[in-house]
Amino acid sequence: MIRKSIKEAFGGEVPFTKYIADNKEVAKRLLDAIDTGMSDSFEIAPEDQTVDRKRVDLVVRDDDNNVVQVIESQDATGWLDSVHASKIAYYCYEKDCMDGVLLTEDADEHIKGFIRWYNENTPLNIYLFNVVIYATNAGNYVDFIPVMRPFNVRDKKIQRKPGSVNNTQVDLRELLQDCLYSLLFHSDPAFHYRTAGTSASVEYRCIG
């Protein structure tokens, strides 16, 4: 077997992610590596557009056609860069889900630290996988090696401050939006989530 890069094996990012979507065995290998208990009835769809016509490489849909994971692959340059590492948050927001998967041939420690920061300080759950490709007599064999998995909820630094609102079902999409906005544009990482139809609010803190 000869190991190949994404560029050598597929020519680029788009043919590679389409290959995953078109090959049930490869797609299942990826979901098994993610290990989130997805049933055999999953659907992986390529080239899913956002409202501003950006392209999500792959989305995973459940039996009810809800997007449960977004998948972003690094381009043919190979190593994960800050652009692709950052897009995953927008795609999660856009597709109204909290789980994102990054596929790359490798990543340096600085970028890994950035993904770790995402997992520790925001509601997002980001998985990082190295892609390994071998050329065989039967064609390309693609495998996915886990590099990083999300934090458990109890280990995240995003905290809920006890308040007057109890048993509130928080809209995680709104929570993510407010958290990222607070971290990017305010020096104080605290933000407030106001329950619909009430005047009460709960304070959360994204701790960097």
Average pLDDT, the chain: 81
Shortest CA distance to 128 belongs to which of 155, 110, 106, 143?
106
Shortest CA distance to 175 belongs to which of 189, 163, 161, 192?
192
| pLDDT, tens digit, 9 for 90 and up, residues 5-53 | 999 999 999 999 999 999 999 999 999 998 866 656 778 999 888 898 8
User: At 70, which amino acid appears?
Assistant: V
Query: Residue 194's pLDDT is what?
Result: 39
Residue 196 pLDDT exceeds 90: no
Shortest CA distance to 27 belongs to which of 44, 5, 6, 4?
44
Query: Residue 157's pLDDT is what?
Result: 82
pTM of the model: 0.75
Q: Are 98 and 69 in contact (CB under 8 A)?
A: no
Residue 75 pLDDT exceeds 70: yes
Token look-up 């990012």 returns 13
CA 37 – CA 17 distance, rounded (Å): 21
The H-or-E segment that residue 107 falls in is: none
Mean pLDDT, rounded, for 62-91:
91
| pLDDT, tens digit, 9 for 90 and up, residues 151-185 | 888 888 875 555 434 433 445 555 555 565 555 54
Query: Residue 195's pLDDT is what?
Result: 37
DSSP 37-89: ---TT-EEEEEEE-TTS-EEEEEEE-TTS-EEEEEEE--TT-B--HHHHHHHH
Q: What does the block give as tokens for 145?
A: 């090696």
Indicate the pLDDT class of residue 77, thresholds 50, 70 and 90.
confident
Q: What does the block give as tokens for 112?
A: 């890994």
| pLDDT, tens digit, 9 for 90 and up, residues 111-138 | 999 999 999 999 999 999 999 999 999 9
